[in-house]
Structure 1
Amino acid sequence: MTSETRTDVLRYTAFSPDPAGGNPAGVVLDASALDPAGMLAVAAEVGYSETAFVTAQDTAGRRFTLRYFSPLAEVDFCGHATVATAVALAQRIGPGELVFDTAAGDIPVLTAADDQGVLRATLTSVPTRSRPAEDAELDAALTALGWQRTDLDPALPPHVAFGGVQHLVLAAADRARLADLAYDFDALAAVMRRYGWTTLQLVWRETPTRFHARDPFPVGGVVEDPATGAAAAAFGGYLRTLGLVPETGTVVIRQGEDMGRPSTLTLHIDPTDPRVRVSGQAVTLAQR
């Protein structure tokens, strides 16, 4: 009997209303009997970029302790697994407000059904921050990616952005550069471990309110994430730091298109508030 068959693992895809899109996540709603090694074993067996584990809840049943594991390690925060867990809970206890206690801090989440009845979750990140990338950081990342500085958009400078975990933000000069992603997996993983980055947030700006993104995740044992809520929150902080928040405060990120798993992440950014709201739908996948 495998660790997964001993544990009730739900499967959802986040940031898409279509099971063929979005980013799959495992969700364990009762992980109170699992230790960290057990959670890591389940995550490795599930094989998704992240599996979320509910380890405790309050007596009112709207506040939960949440831990996240990739197939290789625990991470402090994961946006798409948060959305998946929130929708899984909303299906069982009803839509409304939830709070997740995570290693990164408290994450409030509002769940509601849209006009088609698909549940949407809107998480509020921990305070975001962003700083210019140092030359050594940038050069190491570009070498592992096989990119040149001339491949970057000079209007969107490289930054290290934080929205619960750290991400290197690199803006491609054109859509073709973003589409052509073939990097050295082991070399990039080593660079990311050296600097403490969870993913690289590679973006291309179509308009001031619409971006396309790709997120390599080799430190989690995954080549690429099709939707990355934590990186989206960090990117919202990046835009705020650079003074690039549109008047509406709303930015849409399209991710996963080049992987065949299109995803839509909607950011709500207040220029005066370091917290960023990230919104998306989630639906169930076939359970195994």
Structure 2
Amino acid sequence: MAVGGRNVGGVRYHHVDVFSSVAYSGNSLAVFPDAAGLTGLQMGRVAKELRHFESIFLIRDGEGWQARVFDVHEEVRFAGHPVVGAACVLHALAAGHGDGDGDGDGDWTIHLPDRTVQVSTCRIDTGRFHGVLDPGPVAFTDTATPRIAHRFGLTEDDLDQGLPAQVVFAGLRYLVLPVRGGALARARITADVTADLATLGAEYAYLLDAAAMEGRHWNNDGLVEDVATGSAAACVAAYLHRHGRLADGQAATLHQGRFTGRPSEMTISVAVGEGGTVGVRVGGDVALVGEGRLDVLP
């Protein structure tokens, strides 16, 4: 699908809310569909200016798109909600209707620094799309990981004794820490956990109440809580499947964002292919909120 380029006199971007069926919920995102000519330094400064949890910058590359994702601190190698949101914006633009009137399905190849991912999209109604991410290969630690409940303001009694803590890789390495009902509301990070996670082979942590299908995730310093973490949802899907909580081909809804005031829903599923290959899918709705233009670049 051909997508229109940058408007003369500025760089255009789209404001969308990802993993929500309505605007002003879910995880907000700025999508720059034509970032050709912008340097990484400029992208980082723009992301800090707009202050969405993340911003994604796209450059057409043959049949696919090169993508760089920045949060307000740094560039990130992989992220779920930005690529799902970006694909839905590309779908709307490809149909020639920025208000989301494009019909039919879309398939998008997005090249991130560490891996190439596929996103399929469809229009739900005016201003609302649905995207499904295939994040690529999944890997696990061989054995259960020591539990570090105290680093999240919890005790061992707050942990789900029926599930192990385990590091899962699906683009990023997450420690999936299973907790009992009610523990999510008490959880918090009071001191940076980066070093603790590194000793376990993890980059980030995701607290999961498997019974309620709800999770929480923060930056490692605990200062910012994420609204909906697509990269972690991919790890959760593979984790639940491995431990018998998600059947092959079964779809389930993972909730996040309740404690930030922006409830979000991510649909997760796993299909096992030939040779036992685990194929994970993470999907959700995307609401198109508005468009803007930067007349002055950093």
TM range (shorter): 0.7 to 0.9
Q: Of residues 201, 205, 209 in structure 2, which corresponds to 1:204?
A: 209
Aligned to 2:98: none
Aligned partner of 2:210: which letter?
Answer: R
More helix by share: 1
Aligned partner of 2:250: which letter?
Answer: G
Residue 260 (structure 1) shift? 1.3
Residue 71 (structure 1) shift? 1.1
Aligned to 1:234: 235
Aligned to 1:109: 119
Aligned to 1:178: 184
Aligned to 2:218: 216
* 1:79 maps to 2:80: yes
In structure 2, do the counterparts of structure 1 residues 93 and 115 end up closer, same or farther at CA, with 3 Å as the change threshold? closer
In structure 2, do the counterparts of structure 1 residues 222 and 68 end up closer, same or farther at CA, with 3 Å as the change threshold? farther
Query: Which deviates the most, 253-262 or 187-196?
Result: 187-196
Query: 2-side partners of 1:222 and 1:82: how far apart?
Result: 24
Question: Deviation per CA, 1:254-275, whole angstroms, max 9, x where unpaired?
Answer: 1111221111100121144322
Query: 2-side partners of 1:33 and 1:222: how far apart?
Result: 33
Aligned to 2:69: 68
Aligned to 1:121: 131
Residue 161 (structure 1) shift? 1.1
Aligned partner of 1:181: which letter?
Answer: A
SS at 2:210 equivalent: strand
Aligned to 1:25: 29
Question: Deviation per CA, 1:4-50, whole angstroms, max 9, x where unpaired?
Answer: x9643321110001112110111111122122222111111221221
In structure 2, do the counterparts of structure 1 residues 117 and 70 end up closer, same or farther at CA, with 3 Å as the change threshold? closer
> Any unmatched runs of 5+ in structure 1?
none
Residue 248 (structure 1) shift? 4.6
Query: 1-side partners of 2:278 and 2:113: how far apart?
Result: 18
Residue 287 (structure 1) shift? 4.4
SS at 1:37 equivalent: helix
SS at 2:285 equivalent: strand
Contact 2:110 2:118 in 1 (8 A): yes
Query: 2-side partners of 1:155 and 1:115: how far apart?
Result: 41
Runs of 4+ in 1 over 4 A off after TM superposition: 192-198
SS at 2:192 equivalent: helix
Aligned to 2:19: 15
Question: Deviation per CA, 1:145-167, whole angstroms, max 9, x where unpaired?
Answer: 12222211011210111111111
Aligned to 2:5: none
* 1:279 maps to 2:292: no
In structure 2, do the counterparts of structure 1 residues 222 and 47 end up closer, same or farther at CA, with 3 Å as the change threshold? farther
SS at 1:225 equivalent: coil
In structure 2, do the counterparts of structure 1 residues 91 and 100 end up closer, same or farther at CA, with 3 Å as the change threshold? same
Residue 196 (structure 1) shift? 6.5
Query: 1-side partners of 2:125 and 2:13: how far apart?
Result: 28
Aligned partner of 1:105: which letter?
Answer: R
Q: Of residues 129, 143, 152 in structure 1, which corresponds to 2:150?
A: 143
Residue 251 (structure 1) shift? 1.8
Residue 143 (structure 1) shift? 3.2
* 1:57 maps to 2:64: no
Contact 1:167 1:234 in 2 (8 A): yes
* 1:188 maps to 2:198: no
* 1:261 maps to 2:265: no
SS at 1:187 equivalent: coil
SS at 1:227 equivalent: coil
Residue 144 (structure 1) shift? 2.7
Contact 1:127 1:275 in 2 (8 A): yes
Query: 2-side partners of 1:284 and 1:197: how far apart?
Result: 34
Aligned partner of 2:174: which letter?
Answer: H
Structure 2 length as normaliser, TM-score?
0.82
Q: Give the length in aligned residue pairs.
A: 271
Residue 77 (structure 1) shift? 0.9
Residue 65 (structure 1) shift? 0.9
Query: 1-side partners of 2:200 and 2:110: how far apart?
Result: 27
SS at 1:178 equivalent: helix
